[in-house]
Amino acid sequence: MITPYGWSRGLQRDFEPFAARGLVPARVIVQQRGLYRLVAEAGETEARLSGRFHHDAEDGGHPVVGDWVGIQAEDGFALIQGLVPRRTAFVRKQAGTGHGVQVAAANVDVALLALSLNGDLNLRRLERYLAATYESGAAPVVVLTKADACADVAGAVAQVATVAGDAPVMAVSAVSGEGLAALADQLEPRRTAVLLGSSGVGIREHDERGRHTTTHRELIRLPSGALILDTPGMRELGLIDAEAGVAVVFAGVEAEVEALAETCRFKDCAHGAEPGCAVRAALDDGRLEAARFEAWRKLQRELAHERVKEDPLARKAQQREWISRMKSARVHMKDKRKIE
């Protein structure tokens, strides 16, 4: 019963410590208001967290849809006693708090990053989706919906490919059927996919609005055997500890900046208004693409802001960096006045 839901030899090895405790494996297929529905070898069952597990779980350590857990049967109900280590995880800030994290989706194999072709094709949003996906460990596939409403599909695909890197890019239309077969090929039996995209990327045909009314998280098994994780928490994700994901998305930009920075006048150049900045010179003459550079810097600032909020040591390090740059700027202005 659990093999069609992605159970594998690797998961069986990961589960050995739980089996030694007399627990059996199950996957979370529905999560709603603290209640769970699981699929186990014996079939589907309702479940709740054991008191001890609920109390001892670390931040973000409670099960979500897609998770594999160790359970113990109790009076027709299952008690969740442990969480099998996640292979992939999409993480976001805990809603309504200034700290803490929440896992929005777990054990996802493929993330379908959806953008609509009948409106503004936002490449900056796509960069965020890609960074979050790479950071999660899942494989991204860019899906451009409503291809029937686009006058130049090939041009749009080519434009997106400049940002997507190695991720496949496909245009699809629910109206004409274009690209649906290629998309179906990405949804393999026993593999879990999740949709990441803004509301309105394309379900309804008669207008531009979406019809995404999910109020709970659910793992759905399609007739093809593929698994789709439907969760309202995947519309927008803030980037948390996503340095690796950002580095993958902007690998080309980082390499160019690092090479140019070697010839900047100041070793600690921030590539802002400093004189003799080789990076700024490359931006001015078009050798370095300004939009991609600014998008990269914006995500870097966002990540740094989150680190400073959460880590007092990072806050002190940032303060020391600011002081050092201010001193360098004062020395430069003093030397400039002497020359004048």
pLDDT tens-digit series, residues 234-283: 666 666 778 888 999 999 999 999 999 999 999 889 898 889 999 999 99
More confident site: 154 or 307: 154
Give the homologous superfamily in CATH for domain 3-85: Nucleic acid-binding proteins (2.40.50.140)
188, 201 contact by CB (below 8 A): no
Contacts of 168 (CB under 8 A, 6+ apart): 141, 142, 186
Residue 220 scores a pLDDT above 70? yes
> C-alpha distances in angstroms, 238 versus 253, 290, 292, 293?
22, 23, 19, 20
pLDDT tens for 62-121 read 999 999 999 998 777 899 999 999 999 998 776 555 556 788 899 999 999 999 998 768
CATH 2.60.40.10 fits 105-234, yes or no: no
Q: Say what the pTM is.
A: 0.81
Q: Are 141 and 111 in contact (CB under 8 A)?
A: yes
User: Domain 250-339 classified CATH 3.30.1490.480?
Assistant: no
Predicted pLDDT of residue 318: 47
pLDDT tens digits, 170-179: 999 999 999 9
In this structure, what are the phi and psi dihedrals at residue 101, rounded to the nearest 5 degrees? -125, 160
pLDDT in tens, 32-60: 877 899 999 999 999 999 999 999 988 88
- Any idea where the domains of the chain sit in the sequence? 3-85, 105-234, 250-339
Instruction: Answer whether 142's CB lies under 8 Å from 160's CB.
Output: yes
* Residue 242 and residue 135 in contact, taking contact as beta carbons nearer than 8 Å: yes
